[in-house]
Amino acid sequence: MTTDPPRARRVLLLAGSFADARPAIGLAVALAARTQAALEAVLALDPRTEAAEGARLVTWGRPAGTTLLLSREGMSIAYAADARAFRSSLDRAALEMKLRASFRTDSGTLPDLALGLRQPGDAVIMACRRFLPLQGPVAALEDDEDGPAARLATELARMFGTRARVLPADTPPDVLDPMLLSALVLSRTNSSDPAHLAALIDAARCPALLTPVA
């Protein structure tokens, strides 16, 4: 039995905002360094936010009683600022590990982009975060306890200083919600449907990884 994690050709880090990306950058850089893979980051603009122009915004630190509305112009400025911060943070982290990283922006939901950009041999990280930096186990949704997702989960658990758990591949999203996962590793079998992926991410609210496939 091998304990080596599956090797990746490329590590693709996808995030909808810098706030979501920040906790996942270290993970992406470490994974790329560990597997000698190229590192690419994408800041994704969720097309639903375009449709939601004029929607109410809720942010931290805003005085009670004031309402901020989502505007195209404001969104454009915030998106550009997030892109700058994302790129800068990524470059710094990559430099520390003597890696080269590329960065770009794209439009789409994280599951759509993950499945659309994924190439054979790519490891994909869909960045998401909790409100509190809670440390829970790293879960792998895979039926084979020695499968690639389980091995990657073990590796990540070692990095996080936590434990790995292997759950059945068809574990429903609502089971993940109370588990306070540090990361979720998905196998090939449960990572082909964007809607299912979106549901898993919403429930887990932690970085979700798609293991490299040949």
* Site for another protein, rule CB under 8 A: 16-20, 46, 48-49, 51-60, 62, 64, 67-68, 70, 74-75, 78-79, 81-82, 95-96, 130-136, 159, 161-163, 177-178, 180, 202, 205
**CB-nearer residue toward another protein: 36 or 81:** 81
Q: Which residues contact 186 (CB under 8 A, 6 or more apart)?
A: 140, 141, 149, 197, 200, 208, 209, 210, 211
User: Minimum Å distance from CB 204 to another protein?
Assistant: 11
**CB-nearer residue toward another protein: 147 or 152:** 152
User: Minimum Å distance from CB 205 to another protein?
Assistant: 7
Closest CA to 208 of 93, 103, 190: 190
**CB-nearer residue toward another protein: 88 or 135:** 135
**CB-nearer residue toward another protein: 122 or 206:** 206
User: Minimum Å distance from CB 9 to another protein?
Assistant: 25
User: Minimum Å distance from CB 82 to another protein?
Assistant: 4
| Token reading at 206 | 């932690």
- Determine the 3-state secondary structure of 169 from DSSP: coil
Q: What are phi and psi of 151, to 5 degrees?
A: -65, -40
* Spatial contact of 188 and 214, defined as CB atoms under 8 Å apart: no
**CB-nearer residue toward another protein: 107 or 119:** 107
Closest CA to 5 of 48, 41, 36, 26: 36
Q: Residue 63 burial by CB count (10 A; 0-12/13-18/19+): exposed, middle or buried?
A: exposed
Cα of 142 vs its chain's centroid, Å: 18
- Determine the 3-state secondary structure of 131 from DSSP: coil
Say how far apart CA 200 and CA 166 lie, in whole Å: 15
User: Minimum Å distance from CB 136 to another protein?
Assistant: 6
**CB-nearer residue toward another protein: 7 or 134:** 134
User: Minimum Å distance from CB 188 to another protein?
Assistant: 26
